[in-house]
Amino acid sequence: MRKQGLSKKIIIGVTGIFGSGKSTVSRIFKAHGSTIIDADKIARRYLSPETKTYKSIVNYFGRGILKAGRKIDRRKLGKVVFANRRLIYKLNSIIHPKVIGEIKSRIEKLKNGIIVLDAPLLIESGLKKVVDSLIVVIIDNDELIRRAVKKTSLKKAEIINRVKSQIPLRKKMRLADFIIDNSGTMEETRKQVKRIISKIQGGSCGETRD
């Protein structure tokens, strides 16, 4: 986008339920010149054994969540926390302050153009207040499960638990400035993203639902 002359900084939040295709949408934005901040990638770094966050997680959840090489097994951790909402809150209370701090720092350092914040818990973590406009990615439920089973090693029940752990999709949609339906083909999703980019460039950021 900066190549096309966008001289101000516009922060776009991309969120949705687990498996909806947020990363796909972010990649399309990136192909059009946007800067991507991936909250999941940042969070994964704080699971590394050399971090204080890692130590806090292992101290609370136990060594049963570890792989043979001391790394946290994200699937084991997921099985524990996504079965108990209280444990999800605990995990988030350990990780989120670090992740949110880094996200804000990165945004502050960027000068102009479209910045896409890809965050599954964007609303839950309070990051909605740092974005200028919110995109919620939706997908047909059966298609979500089909794609998630194919893409990950998770079972259907695990996928459903992860979806249930988040704010209901309808509530997210009510908060959205734009909605992208990712149930169809890649080309259909790409067209929706292009329409949103055109609206943002035209000054409709935060004013129009797609």
Instruction: Retrieve residue 208's tokens.
Output: 């129009």
> Which pTM was predicted?
0.88
* Cα separation values, 29 from 4, 16, 93, 117, Å: 14, 16, 30, 11
Give the pLDDT score at 153.
Answer: 80
Alpha carbons 98 and 139: distance in angstroms, whole number: 30
Q: CB of 137 within 8 A of CB of 22? A: yes
Write out pLDDT tens, residues 54-82.
999 999 999 999 998 899 999 999 999 99
Number of residues that this document lists for the chain: 210
Write out pLDDT tens, residues 122-143.
999 999 999 999 999 999 999 9
Evaluate the CA torsion angle 26, 31, 37, 40 in order and state its sign.
Answer: positive
**Nearest partner of 131 among 117, 110, 119, judged by Cα:** 117
Collapsed DSSP state (helix, strand, coil) of residue 138 = strand
Taking each helix axis from N to C end, the angle separating 85-109 and 52-61, rounded to the nearest 10 degrees, works out to 170
Residue-by-residue DSSP string for 65-116: GB-TTS-B-HHHHHHHHTT-HHHHHHHHHHHHHHHHHHHHHHHHH--SEEEE
HSE-CB at 14 with a 13 A cutoff on CA atoms is 31
Which residues lie closer than 8 Å to 171 by C-beta, 6 or more apart? none
Has domain 2-201 been given CATH number 3.40.50.300?
yes
Give the pLDDT score at 2.
Answer: 36
Collect the ranges in the chain with pLDDT lower than 70.
1-7, 204-210
